[in-house]
Amino acid sequence: MPGWLASLFVNPAVVAPGLALIAAPILIHLIHRLRYRRVRWAAIEFLLKSQQRNRRRLLLEQLLLLLLRVLIVVGLVALVARPLLDPDQFALFQGRKTHHVVVVDDSGSMRDRWGGTTAFEEARQSILAIADLGVRRPGTQLLSVLLASRLDQPVYTARPLDQTFLGELEGRLKSIEATHRTVPLDQALVAARRLHEATPGSTQLVHVVSDFRTEDWQASGPVAAAIKELTAAKIEVNCLRAVPEEHPNLALTNLAGSLDVAAANVPLRLTVGIRNHGKQVARGVRLNVLVDGQKLPTAVVIEALEAGQATQREFDVVFPTTGSHAVEVQLPPDSLDSDNQRFLAFTIPDNHPVLLIQGDATSSDVTALQDALAPAPGLTGFAPSVENVEFLRRQPLDRFQSLFLVNVPELPADVVRLLEQYVENGGGLVWFLGDQTRPAFVNKSLYRADATGLFPLPLGATAELIRDETNPAADIVFGAHPAFRIFQGEENPFVETVAIRKYFTPLEDWEPASGVQVVARLRNKSPLFLEHRVGQGVVFTCLSGSGGDWTNWPQNPSFVPLVLELARHIARPRQRFDQKIVGEELPVVLDAATYSPHLELTIPGGAIERITATVEQADGGPATGEATTGDAPAGEAATSARYREVIRSTETPGLYRIALKRLDGSDEFRQFSFNAPTAESDLALATTESLRQGLGGNVQIREHGNLDLTVSGETGREIHDFVLWALVLLLVGEQLFAWRLGYHPPGGGTGGTAGQTGPGGVAGGLLNRVGLGGRS
């Protein structure tokens, strides 16, 4: 088929057969005239002279009727072939090509499912429709396919479109699935422009296939700005919707808990978040919980969740052993499966070391804290050890999850600096004061007005809280704080019997600096507990003591849960790298003196990858975000060679298990959880009107199911409507003209059309023409 013909018709294959049909009315006309035998009739001879006079006019009229019928056939062919007219298209006759760059949104929301299909499957069909359109114009069309998740790896680049390539494209698209993550659509559009720059001189088109969610296609967002840059560069943009309508979706948004203090045989409270992205109330939502792959007998039930609202639910789980563990929460199936699961992986150590520093060796204040943290070995998971101030100089502090400084008089300057570094790197510190506390030292060496020091306020003098027998109110008024949640929501008779006898007051006119929070006060409004952050760590300060003449709290049953909650709240985070989003890299660093470089990675679904890590000489601690494995805590500098490997095959939500081999022959396992991003859960769609306003009037927007991809700049301006109306006029004209040439006797007899023989044919027509027709 000639290339110029392909540039003038949407369906050029029907042009040649259609033109052959033009001969049909001509042949019928000729056969119609030749099928009668001539019979001479004496009575009509005198009329032949009149026929000779009108012969030229009759022949012209017959030819005009034949022309109308030929034009009707041409119109029917044109209606199917769909001709295109545009002066600019004469360049196509000179071999000018059209380059189609298809940008495919393969983000997590494109896994939206309905009626046995998905948004990404609809995107595949759109790509094939574009390719099929180009195949009908061989030699003039080029196709590039670019996934938004793989900007540096186009699926195809400037491939000529023909029938062979169409089959290859269909097979290739079947092997591609949408990702579970967020993709940079704006960067994909910039990459599409670069692909066009590689084929200068061609007509340039960009087809964007997406679900066009409001989340991504805001008028002021980066994607809209990239579209406007394309249209400003004279590149035509064609937007194809892959989703017909918005679908309701429930999404799990988070799964978290105090993992850093998780212990064997100790209930661990977890919190799961859920959001209703639909437009109707979700009722009777049931969340199943799996612990280490085993489904718990009871489920978390949400009676009703309003449209557009979010909520959280808490539940407790117990792990019988230390080591690697995982929790999974599941929602019932809906439009988007990726966010119906949430995974949490963590490791339970043998214990959680806590360091207690005592200022007075003869005091029982530290003993009360030690008994609260670990009344029996293994009962709480905490392993407290009691030392003096000098210990802070001799041992690294990073191995302790938290530090309690109790009734300490003074600290050497180098120890103060060590404590500052510990807290800045994420450690937790608790102050309990007492008779040994020296306000002058605190105000000079620990307090800073900008709240960057280890103490939150300048200390004044000690004071006594006088017991008022006429006032039944408790001595302590707790604020809304996680450490005090067990004392909130209802009356607690144990707390009401706690007596605070002595406490330190702040200096007069002190006001909390930004970042300093008073979380509990005495009944006389004086601050009792304060919290502030220093770097990545937390400092919690009690302006009273932990026993002795200062308070009777250690003898109260509520003291143990208070200390345990404090230890959990300020614990140094050690597992912050185990929770990741799909698509993120997973760096693994191994101590070469402890581990073999060979490891096995088990990905969700059970597939196993065998990896050999590369060796490098350690010159410091690992970069932020690395999953360190070894005897040294995360963040500490290594002093020997180590193995490093970066795992990138993390596209599927779920649990990733790494099997390590220690040099002593033992095995070690580590789990990491990867979850789908919550940004892909909102399936609300941008309206066509908002897209037109945000992207500009030069952008074509095709609704879902509309695979008529002919656009003005692609192959010219289609004249389908003009052909349709012209065909209607030709049909009407042919009927009227045929009726005019026919014979219609006044008596209602049957007349013949022009060209017929017999009394009702030529004779009747001639009688009518010469004025002799009429009543027989």
Statement: residue 486 has pLDDT above 90: no
Between CA 20 and CA 81 the distance in angstroms is 14
In this structure, the answer to whether residues 563 and 662 fall within a common structural domain is: no
Residue whose token pair is 């605190």:
442
In this structure, the answer to whether residues 382 and 505 fall within a common structural domain is: yes
In this structure, the answer to whether residues 530 and 400 fall within a common structural domain is: yes
Residue whose token pair is 């000179």:
94
Would you say residue 333 lies in a domain? Answer: yes
In this structure, the answer to whether residues 468 and 585 fall within a common structural domain is: no
Predicted confidence band at 326 (pLDDT cuts at 50, 70, 90)? very high
In this structure, the answer to whether residues 107 and 60 fall within a common structural domain is: no
188, with CB counted inside 10 A (0-12, 13-18, 19+), is buried
What pLDDT sits at residue 760?
A: 39
Q: Which two tokens stand for residue 630?
A: 């070894």
The string of pLDDT tens digits covering residues 616-626 is 765 544 443 44
Paired with 602 in beta bridges are 608, 657
Domain harbouring 642, CATH code: 2.60.40
Would you say residue 712 lies in a domain? Answer: no
Would you say residue 104 lies in a domain? Answer: yes
In this structure, the answer to whether residues 143 and 224 fall within a common structural domain is: yes
DSSP state of 442: I
pTM listed for this prediction: 0.74
What pLDDT sits at residue 745?
A: 66
Would you say residue 711 lies in a domain? Answer: no
b/e map of 256-280 (b: 16 or more CB within 10 Å)? ebbbbbbbbebebebebbbbbbbee
Paired with 599 in beta bridges are 611, 660
Q: Which two tokens stand for residue 93?
A: 């006759």
**Span 752-770, average pLDDT:** 41
Closest CA to 628 of 262, 259, 618: 618
* Domain end position, chosen among 516, 540, 570: 570
The string of pLDDT tens digits covering residues 285-297 is 999 999 999 999 9
Would you say residue 360 lies in a domain? Answer: yes
In this structure, the answer to whether residues 520 and 618 fall within a common structural domain is: no
Q: Answer yes or no: are the C-beta atoms of 588 and 565 closer than 8 Å.
A: no
Between CA 332 and CA 286 the distance in angstroms is 7
What pLDDT sits at residue 757?
A: 40
The range of the structural domain enclosing residue 318 comes to 251-349
Residues found in the chain:
776
Statement: residue 143 has pLDDT above 90: yes
Write phi, then psi, for 259 (nearest 5 degrees).
-70, -30
Would you say residue 90 lies in a domain? Answer: no
Q: Answer yes or no: are the C-beta atoms of 142 and 100 closer than 8 Å.
A: yes
In this structure, the answer to whether residues 299 and 205 fall within a common structural domain is: no
In this structure, the answer to whether residues 423 and 452 fall within a common structural domain is: yes
In this structure, the answer to whether residues 497 and 528 fall within a common structural domain is: yes
Beta strands 527-534 and 294-295, pairing class: unpaired
Q: Return the H-helix or E-strand segment holding 527.
A: strand 527-534
In this structure, the answer to whether residues 500 and 403 fall within a common structural domain is: yes
Higher pLDDT, 547 or 114: 114
Residue whose token pair is 């502030």:
532
What pLDDT sits at residue 759?
A: 39
Predicted confidence band at 18 (pLDDT cuts at 50, 70, 90)? confident
Residues 6 or more apart in contact with residue 424 via CB below 8 angstroms: 534, 535, 536, 537
Q: Which two tokens stand for residue 696?
A: 């500009």
Strand spans (E) along 603-695: 608-612, 614-616, 627-629, 642-647, 654-662, 667-675
Would you say residue 683 lies in a domain? Answer: no
Domain harbouring 356, CATH code: 3.40.50.880
Paired with 534 in beta bridges are 537
The string of pLDDT tens digits covering residues 83-130 is 765 544 433 333 468 899 999 999 999 999 999 999 999 999 999 999
Predicted confidence band at 33 (pLDDT cuts at 50, 70, 90)? low
DSSP state of 116: T
Between CA 39 and CA 36 the distance in angstroms is 9
* Domain end position, chosen among 570, 593, 613: 570
**Span 398-416, average pLDDT:** 93
Q: Answer yes or no: are the C-beta atoms of 514 and 451 closer than 8 Å.
A: yes
Statement: residue 544 has pLDDT above 60: yes
The string of pLDDT tens digits covering residues 207-240 is 999 999 998 887 668 898 899 899 888 888 999 9
Would you say residue 93 lies in a domain? Answer: no
Overall number of domains in the chain: 5
In this structure, the answer to whether residues 129 and 232 fall within a common structural domain is: yes
- Average predicted confidence (pLDDT) for the chain: 83
**Span 737-766, average pLDDT:** 52
